[in-house]
C-alpha cells in the first residue's frame, strides 16, 4: 500500500499526486502539517511516502518509484532532467523566500535574499525564451507547471513578463490529471 503524506497546496506533493494518478496506482493521501512531517520524515518536510514498509523522503525518489512501477525510466533525457533541476531550484528558492517572508524577513532584508530573487527571474527568463508550443508533458514540464501554478496560487510573482511560460501552463492545464490536482481555491 502506498501512503503519500503532504499538503494539497505543496507543488512537490502535487507532482507526486499527478504521477500516481497517471500510473493508476492506488494510494492513500494523508494530509500532513509541519509538526507531523517533523516526526514522519528526517527531512522534516513534505512529501514523503511509505511504500510496503519503506519510507521515501523526497518527491524525486517517490516519482522515481512511480515511473519505474509503470515500467518507464525516470528522467531519461538530459534536457528533461535539466528542466526538472531548474524547476526544483525555482521551487526551493521561491518557497524559501515565501517562508522567510512569513517570518518577517523580506527580500530587502539582505543582499543574499535579493540575489535569490534575481536567480528566480534569471531562470524564468531563460525558460520563457524557449519554445513551448505543443510541448511534450514529461516530468520536467510537470515540475515546472506545478511551480508556475503554485506561484499564481500563492500570488508570489507577477508572471505576466513570461508569456511563453503562461501559455505552457495553459496547455498543461488541459491535462485532466494536472487540472484535478490543483490546490483548493
* Boundaries of every domain in the chain: 2-69, 78-180
Alpha helices (H) in 72-110, listed in sequence order? 78-102
Angle among Cα 168, 170, 173 to the nearest 5 degrees reads 110
Give pLDDT, residue 184. Answer: 79
CATH superfamily of 2-69: Glutaredoxin (3.40.30.10)
Burial of 133: CB neighbours in 10 Å, binned 0-12, 13-18, 19+: exposed
Among positive and negative, which fits the CA dihedral 93, 94, 97, 98?
A: negative
Sequence-ordered list of residues with C-beta below 8 angstroms from that of 52, at least 6 positions apart, any chain: 1
Are the C-beta atoms of 50 and 32 separated by less than 8 Å? Answer: no
Give pLDDT, residue 103. Answer: 96
Angle among Cα 92, 96, 97 to the nearest 5 degrees reads 120
Residue 134: left if φ>0, alpha if ψ -120 to 50, beta else—which one?
left
Among positive and negative, which fits the CA dihedral 113, 95, 174, 25?
A: positive
Give pLDDT, residue 149. Answer: 97
Question: According to the CATH classification, is domain 78-180 in 1.20.1050.10?
Answer: yes
**Stretch 5-29: mean pLDDT, rounded?**
97
**At residue 2, does pLDDT exceed 90?**
yes
Per-residue pLDDT of 122-175, as tens digits, reads 999 999 999 999 999 999 999 999 999 999 999 999 999 999 999 999 999 999
Per-residue pLDDT of 23-63, as tens digits, reads 999 999 999 988 999 899 999 999 999 999 999 999 999 99
Give pLDDT, residue 141. Answer: 98
**At residue 185, does pLDDT exceed 80?**
no
**At residue 14, does pLDDT exceed 80?**
yes
Per-residue pLDDT of 60-111, as tens digits, reads 999 999 999 999 999 999 999 999 999 999 999 999 999 999 999 999 999 9
**Stretch 16-27: mean pLDDT, rounded?**
98
Amino acid at each position: 500500500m502506498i501512503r503519500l503524506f503532504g499538503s494539497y497546496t505543496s507543488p512537490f506533493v502535487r507532482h507526486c499526486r499527478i504521477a500516481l494518478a497517471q500510473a493508476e496506482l492506488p494510494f492513500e493521501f494523508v494530509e500532513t502539517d509541519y509538526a507531523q512531517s517533523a516526526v514522519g520524515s528526517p527531512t522534516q518536510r513534505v512529501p514523503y511516502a511509505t511504500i510496503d514498509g519503506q519510507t521515501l523522503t523526497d518527491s524525486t525518489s517517490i516519482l522515481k518509484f512511480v515511473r519505474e512501477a509503470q515500467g518507464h525510466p525516470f528522467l531519461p533525457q538530459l534536457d528533461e532532467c535539466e528542466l526538472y533541476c531548474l524547476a526544483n531550484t525555482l521551487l526551493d528558492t521561491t518557497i524559501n523566500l515565501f517562508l522567510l517572508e512569513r517570518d518577517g524577513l523580506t527580500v530587502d532584508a539582505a543582499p543574499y535574499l535579493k540575489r535569490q530573487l534575481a536567480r528566480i527571474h534569471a531562470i524564468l527568463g531563460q525558460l520563457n525564451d524557449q519554445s513551448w508550443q505543443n510541448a511534450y508533458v514529461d516530468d520536467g514540464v510537470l515540475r515546472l507547471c506545478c511551480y508556475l501554478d503554485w506561484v499564481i496560487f500563492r500570488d508570489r510573482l507577477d508572471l505576466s513578463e513570461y508569456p511563453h511560460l503562461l501559455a505552457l501552463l495553459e496547455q498543461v492545464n488541459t491535462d485532466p490529471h494536472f487540472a484535478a490536482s490543483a490546490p483548493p481555491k
